[in-house]
Amino acid sequence: MAKLASQAPVPVFVAQGDDAPAETARLCLNSTLTIVETPRAAAILLVAGTIPASLIPNLHRLHDQLPHPRATVFWQAEPTDLLSEAVTVRNDDNLVSVLTDTRSSLLSGSHGTEADLLPDAPPNEWRGVGSHGQGGKGMMGGTPYGRPMAMTAADFRDGLELDAYTADFGPFLPMFPPGLVLTLTLQGDVIQKVSVVHLPFAGEGNAGAALLRLLGLPALAKRLLRGPSDDADFKRLIRLSGVRAAIPPGLGCAPIGSDVRERFERLTTDPGNPSKVHVDGVGLGDLLIGLEWHEAMLVLNSFDDESLRAICANTSSPELEEKNGDSMDHEGHAGHMS
């Protein structure tokens, strides 16, 4: 059974770091690998490129979400202290054969599964303010599963006070540009507040392919990654798919000057030369607040890396300013228990 299973494509979740090899985006073209969208579906966590010290706790959280048996492979990166036993791949190694071999040895049992890095305990004690653990603020009081209940806040659309969900998203979320961490406050799936925790990594960018994947056209995304975009067939397929109509008109336009449709067309027809946008003084709040989740993801992925970094830098972000103000010797593992 293990032998049969090892012949199937290897499910890999890619955690992209800074200076990730250019080949990372094109891994999905390899038929022996399946690049999965969630760590729950992966057997191998592939860490491509250097993970900054401030994001190492995020990597460890991600690692623990992979089901057993699991393994971590560092590709052109140094393993973290807690993952020092992980497989390391250098420039000259054949990454794909290392991944398939690791998967086979995981299944045969010769490579033991990696244990959790974080303690098996809820982030807070599951107790309310009352003497018997009952009561407290929020919808029901207490901290079920160690997390406080969401508090009410006014919806900016009509002032209706319902529970506002606040969470950090990223840096290894497949629909986010790699490295980007945002604190988002949502009412339902409408974005109410946004602040930047970590800027996206600078890279060569594959926004066109990312947009096509988001729009449900993975085959065309692969075709774009594969090669010459001046292919007339490719342009015809894009036109026939009707994907242009699936992007709401005017989305992500003000005050940039071009909307997502326009940027999408440029990215798919001429990816090497993305349209320049006017980002002076434009923050993510101007672009994302009031959008539903899927629209916000389209907007985020429609920029080239340089413009997106500029927009994120313009966004008011208390956490980022605090970090920049701090000395550089911050502790890498802070927030593990949070």
Q: Which of 2, 5, 154, 167 binds another protein (CB under 8 A)?
A: 167
The yes or no reply on residue 145 touching another protein (CB under 8 A) is yes
Q: Which of 29, 36, 53, 173 binds another protein (CB under 8 A)?
A: 173
Closest distance to another protein from the beta carbon of 274 (Å): 24
In the complex with another protein, which residue's Cβ is closer, 17 or 271? Answer: 17
Smallest CA-to-CA distance from 208 within 200, 218, 198, 199 is with 218
In this chain, which of 146, 249, 290, 318 binds another protein, going by CB under 8 A?
146
Omega cis (within 30) before 69 = yes
Q: Is 147 in the site for another protein (CB under 8 A)?
A: yes
What residues from 55 to 114 belong to the interface with another protein (CB under 8 A)? 55, 57-59, 61-62, 64-65, 67-68
CB closer to another protein out of 101 and 168: 168
Beta strands in the chain (DSSP E): 10-16, 33-35, 44-48, 71-75, 87-89, 152-154, 161-163, 165-169, 181-187, 190-198
- CA 86 – CA 60 distance, rounded (Å): 13
Give how far Cα 336 sits from Cα of 18, 119, 149, 166, 317, Å: 21, 9, 20, 18, 22
If one asks whether residue 163 binds another protein (CB under 8 A), the answer comes out as yes
Please state, in angstroms and rounded to a whole number, the distance separating the CA atoms of residues 103 and 1. 14
Nearer CB in complex with another protein: 144/318 = 144
Q: Single out the residue of 150, 237, 253, 289 in contact with another protein (rule: CB under 8 A).
A: 150
Contact positions toward another protein, by CB under 8 A? 15, 38-40, 55, 57-59, 61-62, 64-65, 67-68, 116-123, 138-139, 143-151, 155, 160, 162-174, 176, 181, 187-188, 335, 338
